[in-house]
Amino acid sequence: MRFLARPHQLPVRIATGAFILNSGLAKARADKETAQGVHGMASGTYPFLGSQDPERFTALLSKAEIAIGAALLVPFVPSLAAGAALTGFAGGLLGLYLKTPGMRQEGSLRPTQQGIPLAKDVWMLGAGLGLVAEELGRRD
């Protein structure tokens, strides 16, 4: 496993890392109403989260996003590890898109207007899978 990101990996790592880091920092300042909204969306799709306190859940999600964003931005974090974290995070977001009623057109993967903000996260899944596939496919 390489311990430095290769130069061609930096654009995707910077773009996704900055986006996720910003999201995590915004959630770190979430008020009670925002935390309830974030938690409500997540627990509607993932019922096991329903027992979590909304403010605690949002604070933990914030920390996870900050950690993933930082891992992507720091070039000495191996791309395999950063890509795997990004893939897992994006998979969870796409789960929201796929399982939340009203996000997709009936019988289709095409988003509704309400689904576009979640459907666009497919680019993060592609970026994460690309980093993982490249690292697993290399023979150093």
Give me the residue label for tokens 């690292």.
Answer: 135
Residues 42-98 have pLDDT tens digits of 999 899 999 999 999 999 999 999 999 999 999 999 999 999 999 999 999 999 999
Query: Would you say 18 and 69 are in contact if contact means Cβ atoms under 8 Å apart?
Result: yes
- For the stretch 16-52, pLDDT in tens is 999 999 999 999 999 999 999 999 999 998 999 999 9
Q: Work out the end-to-end distance of the chain between its first and last CA atoms, rounded to an integer number of angstroms.
A: 8
Question: Taking the model in full, what pTM does it have?
Answer: 0.90
| Burial classification of residue 126, based on how many CB atoms lie within 10 Å of its CB (0-12 exposed, 13-18 middle, 19 or more buried) | middle
